[in-house]
Chain A
Amino acid sequence: MSLYYVQKLLYQVNREPYIRKRFDTDFDQLIGDYDLSIDEITALREGDIGLLYIMGVNGQILMHFAAHCGLEWSTYLATLRQALVEHGPVRAGLYATVWD
């Protein structure tokens, strides 16, 4: 799991138009710059918003990527809810916080 790099890539896709363009047209080259697992690469390539949420991507990053992927707001929320049913609880990141 390299949630840090999944989020970093999406943060940059959201923020930088030239990275967004590379994500859309030059995905394989682009992801070489990030330390990602095969599952993460697949989820990113397929725009699997639900699985990315379960992997722990922060919604504040994910909702913009979802909009970029063409998901309307209610579809975005339904996708997250369905992912919880399919994959179980969020695995890492803020939404999986265990307080000590």
Chain B
Amino acid sequence: MSLVFAGACSHGPGITGRAEQADVSLRNELYANFDRLRRAIEQSNPDALVVIGAEHFANFFMDNMPAICMGMADSYTGPIEDEQWLGIDSAQIPGNEALSEQLIKSIMQDIDLAYAQEWKFDHGIMVPLHFLTPRYDLPVIPVNINCQGPPLIPLHRCYEFGRALRRACDERPERIAIIGTGGISHWPATPDSGQINEQWDRQFLDHFVNNRREQLVAYTDEQTYQDAGQGGFEIRTFVAIAGATEGSTGEIWFYAPIPIFAVGCTIATMSVE
């Protein structure tokens, strides 16, 4: 049928792993919006959920680092982290190898991408799934955009990837939902963890929900590193969602800096009209 839903959310491991240390009302509001996102995905009645993430050296390392990689398996496992540390139990997550293959073949008409038949999800995918498909009953197709080990794919290519993904989805009879998951400004796992540039985040999110391609792809890694930390490189996942919803706009359902979660926690949707 086509793309039936598009959204974006945060994935910081603290969201589940350090839940009890956060401001209770902010945390509850974030969780409520994750739940609202879950319901919206369910209402779109998808056959599969593509999660565009920015994993963190769980599967991909600098010996062979793909710019973009898509999973092509019938099942995945996660989390790779200690269950207690992350606050998420180990699980097997269903995939859809045949659908992955069709999407990959189609996307390759426009964008070179790698595929992986084995994938251990880290918090970058497990935290969103914990809230969005808590029973792990919806086939997931993971995508990783390298946001960790430079050189990184340029933002305009992430946008193009999103466009190619959209075209590939629209060619399929299946109903496909997509979620982008990344941090905006943040300095994860460093001495500056907890620092958040709210003004930068709000500016970026404004460009995102208004799908201003020119502004979205104009961010340079150097400036992002200065203003938004190395975690800011994960805006690539948002930019891919903007590409997949080109011509449409969206809505921020929730944004709040939550320092113990090390990120400006965000829940957003984009129209797929």
Which A residues fall within an 8 A CB radius of B?
A: 4, 7-8, 11, 14-15, 53, 58-64, 67-68, 73, 77, 80-81, 84, 94-95, 97, 99
Contact = CB atoms under 8 A, between A and B. Distances in A.
Contacts of A77: 191, 193-194
26 contacts: A7-B62, A8-B63, A14-B80, A15-B58, A15-B59, A58-B57, A58-B149, A58-B189, A59-B188, A59-B189, A60-B56, A60-B188, A60-B189, A62-B189, A64-B80, A64-B82, A73-B18, A77-B193, A77-B194, A80-B191, A84-B191, A94-B149, A94-B150, A94-B230, A97-B225, A99-B225
A8 B85 CA distance: 22
A50 B191 CA distance: 10
**Chain B interface category by residue count:** 20 to 34
A84 B192 CA distance: 12
- Report whether over half of chain B's contact residues are helix, strand or loop; otherwise say mixed: loop
A5 to B, nearest CB: 10
- Report whether over half of chain A's contact residues are helix, strand or loop; otherwise say mixed: helix
B81 A81 contact: no
B120 interface: yes
Contacts of B188: 59-60
Contacts of A14: 57-58, 80
B222 interface: yes
Given A15-B58, A59-B190, 12 more contacts: A7-B61, A8-B62, A59-B188, A59-B189, A60-B56, A60-B57, A61-B57, A73-B17, A80-B191, A81-B191, A94-B230, A95-B190
B27 to A, nearest CB: 16
B190 A64 contact: no
B82 A67 contact: yes
Interface of B: 14, 17-18, 56-59, 61-63, 80-82, 85, 120, 148-150, 188-191, 193-194, 222, 225, 230
Nearest to B193: A77
B189 A63 contact: yes
A15 B56 CA distance: 11
B148 A15 contact: no
B86 to A, nearest CB: 9
A81 B201 CA distance: 25
A67 B85 contact: yes
A67 B86 CA distance: 10
10 A-B pairs with the lowest CB-CB distances in the bound complex, closest first: A59-B189, A60-B56, A63-B189, A99-B222, A80-B191, A81-B191, A67-B85, A59-B190, A11-B61, A61-B57
